[in-house]
Amino acid sequence: MGSEEIAFSIVTDLSYEDAVQRCRQALADEGFGVLTEIDIQATLKKKLDVDRTPYLILGACHPPSAHKVLSVAPEAGVLLPCNVTVSVEEGQTVVRAMNPGVAMAVLEAEGLERVATEVAEALSRAIQAVASTV
């Protein structure tokens, strides 16, 4: 099912804030909604008094695909939503999206491969769009 990489990733010259904004738009353009947001930087500061660089997890959902997946394998809900991260690592802004093909492969359920591949392609396009200069 798709590439064996756990995540698709890009490094961009965009600021963290600009990358977050473009990521949200790129996900929306591909039909994803953001169901959850976890600000890891703020959470670790509050809970552990740890300072770290910005790191945001966006829980992205493509409703038609989620419906298909859950209809085939209700246990796949533990793998949803598709996480997309925007972070600052070694001074660079990095955007990653989970590869649903790798995640869904653990279920070995008939009918998931096509949906996982379609969602993987959409997520890959979305993060590539973040770095696009067009």
| Domain coordinates in residue numbering, the chain | 7-131
State the average pLDDT over residues 105-120. 90
Q: How confident is the model at residue 130 (pLDDT cuts 50, 70, 90)?
A: very high
In angstroms, the CA 17 to CA 36 distance is 17
CATH no. for 7-131:
3.30.310.70
In angstroms, the CA 57 to CA 42 distance is 12
In angstroms, the CA 104 to CA 117 distance is 10
Q: What is the number of residues in the chain?
A: 134
In angstroms, the CA 74 to CA 51 distance is 38
In angstroms, the CA 120 to CA 82 distance is 10
Instruction: Give 46: exposed, middle or buried? Use CB within 10 Å, 0-12, 13-18, 19+.
Output: exposed
- Give pLDDT tens digits for 51-92: 999 999 999 999 999 999 999 999 999 999 999 999 999 999
State the average pLDDT over residues 11-30. 97
Query: Would the pLDDT of 1 be above 70?
Result: no
